[in-house]
Structure 1
C-alpha cells in the first residue's frame, strides 16, 4: 500500500481539530470513516500517530508527519488550483502577432473584452506585416496571428476573419482626387508609384505592370503613409489601413471588385491551443462578427 492524499488530509484534520468528531464534521464524513482512514495510515507506517485514542496529543512520528503532510497538502492545493485556472483560462499566456491596421482598430476592443473575463492572463502583442506574422507562427514565436491569408503554408492553419477593399492612396491635393470614381488601374501609370508588401495580392494585369515598374518598395505602413503625405508618390492599400490613418491622405475607390485583402486568424497547424489562447481567438471572432 502507498500513502494516499486522502490519508494525509484526514490525519491533518484530526491533528488540527484535536478529536475525531470535529474533524469528521470538517471533512463531511462520519467519525468511524475518519478513524478507519487513520488506522490504515498507522498500519502502513507501523507506528501510532497519536498518544491515545482521544487523538489530542501527537507522537513524535505524528508531529513529523503533520509538518510534512500540511506542507504537502498545501503544495497539492496550489498545484491543483494552478492546473484548474489554466484549464479554465483563468491564467496562462497569449502571444499574438498582428498587422498594424488590425492592431490599431479591432485589437483594442478584443483585449479590453478578454481582460474583463480573464484578468490574470498575460498578453504579448507584436505589430508586424503579414509576412513576418506568418514567419513567427511557423517558428512558434507567437501563438496566434491576424494577417492576410494568402500563400498559406502547410504549417499554418487559417480561419477567415474579414476582408476589405484595396484602393488608391494619395495625398489630399493629388490630381487623382479630381477624377471621377471609381478609377481604373491604368490611371496609375502617369504618377510615381510606391510599392508595398500587399501589392502582390492584386492580380489585375494593368496593376501588376505598374507594380513591377516601381522603383521604390516600402514595407512599413507608417513610412509609406509619410511618403504619400509628402507627395513623393501614390500607392494602394486596404481601406481599413487608411481609415486608421490620420492626416492628409485620400482613399480612392477602384473599378476592380476582386481587389480585396482577406484577413484571417492564423496559428500553427496540428497544435493544441491552450484554453487561454482558444478564448482569445473566440473573442477576436466575436468582436469582428458584431462589427460587421
Structure 2
C-alpha cells in the first residue's frame, strides 16, 4: 500500500484562523494499479497522534498540545477510523505503536514539518510586503545600476522602503562589518574574513577624454602613453586608486597625476571641461554616447576591478532584504 499526502488550507467566513486538512491518497497495489482512494484528514488529528506516539502517554500528550484527554482520544480514534487501521495499542499502564503505527509515524512527522515550512514561507512573503532594506553602495553602482533593480523590485513590493548609503569602498565594507546595513556593493571584501563576498561583475578601466582630444580616435591606448597628458586620478583612499596602483606597480612608465579628486564623477567633470584625461571603470562612464566625452580601451596592462556584494555571514537578513538580494544577483548577472 502506498500513501501519498497532500494538504490544503482554507479560511471559513465564520473563522478567524485558517483550517487545514490533509488529502491522503491510498494506492492499493494488491488490487490493481488504477485503484486509488482519497480521504480527508484533519491536521489536528495528526498532531494528536504524533504527540501521543512520541510521549507514549495520553496524559502527557494532552498537556503538550493543550487538549483534554477525552478530546485527544477522540481525535486519534477519528484518525484511525479514517485510515481504517489501528495505530496505537492501549493498555492500562502504557501506550505503544502497532506495526502500522510505527510505519506511519515518520510519515506523519514529515507531513507536519512540510506544512510548517510552507506556512513560514507564506508568512515571509507577507512580511516582505512592508519593511526596510538598507544598502551601502559605491557611488558608481548606486547611480548607474541600483535604481533599475529597485524600480523592478518595488513594482512587486511597493511598500518596501530603502535606505541607500552611497560611500567609498572602504566605508561600504565597514558599514557591513558594523551591521549598519543589510549588505553592501563594493570593490573590497573578497579577502576579508569578516564578510562573505559574492562577485557580480569584473569590469575593465577605460580612458576617458574629450572627443577633440588626440587620443579619442584611437582603437586602444597604453598606460605608458598617458605620461604625455594631464592625468586625472582619485585620491589614495579610494579603492579604485588602490587597484590602479597595484596593477601598475611593476610598470616602467606610468602616468603622473596632475589632478587628484575624491570621486570618479568629478573626474568626468574635469574631462568634459577639457582639463585632462582619466582612467575610469566602465560602470562610471556615461551609459549612452556622450556629446563631449570619448572612451578608449586601455592596455599594457589591462586593469580590471571586481564589483560584488558583501554581507556579514552571521547576520540574519530580513525577508525583504533577502528577497532584494536575490533579485540583485539575478538582474546584475543578466546585465
TM bucket normalised to smaller? 0.5 to 0.7
* Aligned counterpart, 1:164: 203
List per-residue Cα deviations over 1:158-194 (Å, max 9, x = no partner).
Answer: 101112111111122112224x422111101111111
- Supply the distance in 1 between the matched residues of 2:304 and 2:194 (Cα, whole angstroms): 24
Q: Secondary structure at the match of 2:294?
A: strand
More helix, by proportion: 1
Q: Secondary structure at the match of 2:279?
A: strand
Please state if 1:275 is matched with 2:319. Answer: yes
RMSD (Å) for aligned C-alpha atoms = 3.2
- Supply the distance in 2 between the matched residues of 1:258 and 1:170 (Cα, whole angstroms): 18
- Supply the distance in 1 between the matched residues of 2:253 and 2:241 (Cα, whole angstroms): 11
Contact 1:199 1:236 in 2 (8 A): no
More strand, by proportion: 2
List per-residue Cα deviations over 1:45-87 (Å, max 9, x = no partner).
Answer: xxxxxxxxxxxxxxxxxxxxxxxxxxxxxxxxxxxx9x94587
C-alpha displacement of 1:232? 1.9
* Aligned counterpart, 1:61: none
Q: How does 1:74-223 map to 2 (within 5 A)?
A: 84=123, 88-149=127-188, 152-178=191-217, 180-196=218-234, 197=238, 198-202=240-244, 203-205=247-249, 210=254, 213-223=256-266
Please state if 1:239 is matched with 2:282. Answer: yes
Q: Provide structure 1 residue ranges, at least 5 long, that are not aligned to the other structure.
A: 1-24, 29-39, 41-80
Question: How many residue pairs are counted as aligned between the two chains?
Answer: 216
Contact 1:161 1:288 in 2 (8 A): yes
TM-score for both structures, normalised by structure 2: 0.56
List per-residue Cα deviations over 1:13-37 (Å, max 9, x = no partner).
Answer: xxxxxxxxxxxx7588xxxxxxxxx
> Which structure exhibits the higher relative contact order, with contacts defined as CA atoms closer than 8 Å and separated by 6 or more residues?
1
TM-score for both structures, normalised by structure 1: 0.64
> Are the structure 2 counterparts of residues 189 and 151 from structure 1 closer, same or farther at C-alpha, using a change threshold of 3 Å?
farther
Q: Provide structure 2 residue ranges, at least 5 long, that are not aligned to the other structure.
A: 1-13, 20-67, 69-119
